[in-house]
Amino acid sequence: MERSDDEKKRSKPSKEELSVFPVAVPLGLLSTLLIGYGTYWFMSTRIPRLDNAMDRLLYTFRWLTLSAFTILVFVVRVGSIRRNTSAIDPTTGHEHYVEVPNRILRNTLEQFMIHAIGLVSLTSFISPQRMAVIPAFVTLFVIGRFMYAVGYTRRPMWRAPGFFMTFLPTVGNYIYCLYSLFLYGFAQGL
């Protein structure tokens, strides 16, 4: 089945939309580095003694509560929009009111799952002295999700800095965890 000219035009971003990336990508990278290192530095002297794996795991789960809170915020946002528009009944064809908020919620849920599993895994590999990385990653996740939501709502291509702030630390985390897994094995620290 051949696509129409309108569909072909819509499938590629415009030059104006693409012009955002030379600004958005460095902004996302710079924000990630500054906020990540700033939080790590700030928290490095404020971490309680976490000498055993269970303490480190509980500490990580408590921080993940803040990350999970972003999901709750976006669920409430979708519900609020539904309550105040004709999208309250999803069968009436007015889903366009919640299309972008639903995409933000769905992406946040997807990113949270990857982020949470990665942080729990990371907790099993890092030393107690490096646990400040947990609040740093959570802070990046929370700020990144809100940057993503604001950017997506105002101009969809501006979601990139928030996406990078969420995704890059997670990718780095998984690279470190896989490296540690292959270097030390599944039984490290047990």
**Residue 9's pLDDT band (boundaries 50, 70, 90)?**
low
Where do the domains of the chain lie? 21-184
Classified by CATH at the fold level, domain 21-184 comes out as Four Helix Bundle (Hemerythrin (Met), subunit A) (1.20.120)
Segment among 13-27, 32-46, 131-145, 166-180 with least mean pLDDT: 13-27
- Cβ atoms of 28 and 162 within 8 Å: the answer is yes
Q: How far is it, in rounded angstroms, from Cα 156 to Cα 17?
A: 9
Residue 13's pLDDT is 78
Residue 37's pLDDT is 96
Q: How far is it, in rounded angstroms, from Cα 162 to Cα 151?
A: 8
Q: What share of the chain is helix, strand, coil (3-state, %, to 5)?
A: 80, 0, 20
Single pTM value for the model: 0.89
pLDDT tens-digit map of 31-46? 999 999 999 999 999 9
- Cβ atoms of 35 and 165 within 8 Å: the answer is yes
pLDDT tens-digit map of 132-160? 999 999 999 999 999 999 999 998 889 99
Q: Which one-letter amino acid corresponds to residue 28? A: G
Q: Which one-letter amino acid corresponds to residue 33? A: L
Q: How far is it, in rounded angstroms, from Cα 31 to Cα 1?
A: 44
Q: Is the pLDDT assigned to residue 168 strictly greater than 60?
A: yes
Q: Is the pLDDT assigned to residue 116 strictly greater than 70?
A: yes
CA-angle at 96, arms to 5 and 111, nearest 5°: 95
